[in-house]
Amino acid sequence: MSTASEIIQCYDCGESYQYLGRQHHPGECPTCNSHCVSPAGEVSILTTVDVSAGEEISMVAVLAIDECRRRYLYHFSNTGGEARLLALRVGDQTVRSSNESIIPALPAAISSVVKEYLPITSIPHDSKD
């Protein structure tokens, strides 16, 4: 149970807001009503799938679940030594941002797996929690 505030990001409209409450946030953006919002609480990795190109891994898919049991499926590639988010599904919805600059802040568990599987030097919007 969360007793602190959470910063929530909507992956569709780009709105960020702070949620205060004893429970985790409800998983819906109050601005656009999208369910494509950042995870609630801690994220647990369910599985990873890597795709190798020769000797190096060039892509990785990470399936995770948040504390409210919502599923997140991230697809990353190695682009010039930097992890690039190719696609993101939240539940059964694919994130289709109208703003190309909206890149989700990545939970620490996701960043850790991506760094483990991809030969990268950096990962954009790596959260430090």
Question: From first to last of its 129 residues, what are the pLDDT tens digits of the chain?
Answer: 444 567 888 888 888 888 877 788 888 888 998 888 999 888 999 999 887 666 666 889 999 999 889 999 999 988 778 888 888 999 998 886 555 555 677 889 999 998 888 877 777 665 544
| Alpha-carbon gap, residue 70 to 119, rounded angstroms | 29
Res 2: pLDDT: 43
Cβ(76)–Cβ(114) below 8 Å: yes
pTM of the model: 0.81
pLDDT of residue 1: 44
Q: Which of 47, 51, 11 is nearest to 31 (CA)?
A: 11
Which tokens in the block code for residue 99?
């703003």
Largest CA distance in the chain: 49
Q: What is the pLDDT of residue 56?
A: 62
pLDDT, residue 7, reads 81
Written as one string, the DSSP assignment of 36-99 is -BPPSS--EEEEEEEEEETTEEEEEEEEEE-TT--EEEEEEEEETTEEEEEEEEETTEE---SS
User: How far is 126 from 118, CA to CA, in rounded Å?
Assistant: 15
